[in-house]
Amino acid sequence: MAMRTIIGKLQDIQPNGESPRLELFFDPSDLVSLPSEHKGEITLIIHGASWKGTIGLTPGNKPYVHTFLGGSKGRTRCTDLFLSLELAERAELEFHVRERGVLELDRVLTTGEWRAGGNPAERSRRT
């Protein structure tokens, strides 16, 4: 059986806010690899650490990972996790599908870029 991979993309869902809010979105064609119900459990394995969260499956939206993740290092926001990896909006991440709802980061395809004025350092100067 061939290894299945899917691509996740980061999007800043509050581009005009005081700080970024990065969410991880997937293409609807990848639903076969994701939990089958809204708020179903998803596990992201990133650099050996497992982070558990829930998936958003709502009409009109691409599937996305909800804001908060829990792991052996406590609770964190997706934003903080991805910023710690030096990723920005529009980053593309390739995940190996271990099983439905369990995704392991294989590699960062692109680190992304911030919209004009969207960089966290630029936002902190506005406040």
Q: Is the pLDDT of residue 21 over 60?
A: yes
Whole-angstrom CA distances from 127 to 14, 113, 122 are 15, 21, 9
d(CA 23, CA 76): 13
- Residue 1 pLDDT > 60, yes or no? no
Look up the CATH number of domain 5-117. 2.40.330
Mean pLDDT, rounded, of the chain: 92
pLDDT tens sequence across 77-124: 999 999 999 999 999 999 999 999 999 999 999 999 998 888 888 886
What's the average model confidence in pLDDT over 69-81? 92
> What pTM value is reported for the model?
0.91
